[in-house]
Amino acid sequence: MSSKKNGAAVDVIDYPVQAPPADRHDTGAGIAIQYRTLSVQVDRSPDKRRAKVDPAEAMRSINVHLLRTEDVFTRYSTHPTLGLETAALERKKNDPKNVISPPPTHYWKKLVIYFFGGFNFLLWIAFIMTMISWKPLGNPNPPSVALDTALIILGVIFISAGFYAAVDFHASRIMASIRGLVADEATVIRNGVKMDIPASQVVVGDLISLSLGQRVPADVRLVEVSSDLKFDRSLLTGER
């Protein structure tokens, strides 16, 4: 049995304690068992020192699709008709939001990739070799053609970096438009009541109801579907 005290989780454990020996003249048919309640305060705050989990490894470890329907409800502490109850929602209120988190942007890393990534790496080698052939290998009369060639190569590097930046910017705009197509609202069943909530407030264990034309607000396990169920996956595959 669990409860909360001062913001921390408290586990309440009932354990049996053997009572003192009964009197010899007691005609009872056994030894009485008394129960005491022990409260143990457990810090359930996430360990910040824990190593980061690889997202790909976390995806591979998902096995909810292999479980029986009743085991799914048991794992996520929910009910097949009532959905999540108030106590379960209270425990999950500090869970991460159901939103797509954009990856952190490191602009200096992007600049390094633009100027030194791909074919530009070979161009930098050609630029350095050309400059060396101008000076000091070209001394005492360094050929001007070597310097001109080096400047041309440097110009090609900047043009190529600009091209890479333009492609990256276009790709980021496409990803932003895809994030704008995700569901804004979700229909869930909580405490036996069907309600519409923002999709960002969907938590693990929510019982979601989908109807015709609705967007799927999160990764879900289907437990009860109609025989003519179909999904439009063109957003993921690009097919029409």
pLDDT for residue 65 = 84
Q: Which residue has the higher pLDDT, 112 or 15?
A: 112
CA 233 and chain centroid, separation: 21
pLDDT more than 70, % of the chain: 75
Under the banding of pLDDT at 50, 70 and 90, the label for residue 230 is confident
Average pLDDT, the chain: 78
Does 108 score more than 50 pLDDT? yes
Which of 37-46, 74-83, 187-196 has the weakest average pLDDT? 37-46
Do the Cβ atoms of 22 and 28 come closer than 8 Å?
yes
Pick the closest to residue 194 from 83, 74, 69 (CA basis). Answer: 83
Pick the closest to residue 18 from 36, 3, 4 (CA basis). Answer: 36
As a CATH number, domain 53-89+183-225 is 2.70.150.10
For the chain, the three-class secondary structure string (H helix, E strand, C coil) is CEEEECCEEEEEEEEEEECCCCCCCCCCCCCCEEEEEEEEEECCCCCCCCCCCCHHHHHHCCCHHHCCHHHHHHHCCCCCCCCECHHHHHHCCCCCCCCCCCCCCCHHHHHHHHHHCCCHHHHHHHHHHHHHHHCCCCCCCCCHHHHHHHHHHHHHHHHHHHHHHHHHHHHHHHHHHHHCCCCCEEEEEECCEEEEEEHHHCCCCCEECCCCCCCCCCCCCCCCCCCCCCCCCHHHHCCC
Per-residue pLDDT reduced to its tens digit, 17-72: 444 444 444 444 444 444 444 444 444 444 444 556 677 787 788 888 888 888 98
pLDDT for residue 238 = 65
pLDDT for residue 20 = 46
Under the banding of pLDDT at 50, 70 and 90, the label for residue 127 is very high
pTM as predicted: 0.54
CA dihedral angle for residue 99, residue 103, residue 105, residue 108, rounded to 10 degrees: 180
Do the Cβ atoms of 202 and 189 come closer than 8 Å?
no
Under the banding of pLDDT at 50, 70 and 90, the label for residue 178 is confident
Q: Which residue has the higher pLDDT, 59 or 106?
A: 106
**What does the alpha-carbon distance between residue 193 and residue 190 come to, in Å, rounded to a whole number?**
5
Does 6 score more than 70 pLDDT? no
pLDDT for residue 42 = 43
Mean pLDDT confidence for 227-237: 78
**What does the alpha-carbon distance between residue 227 and residue 159 come to, in Å, rounded to a whole number?**
56
Residue ranges per structural domain of the chain = 1-19+27-42, 53-89+183-225, 107-179
Q: Which residue has the higher pLDDT, 96 or 153?
A: 153
pLDDT for residue 239 = 65
Amino acid at 231: F
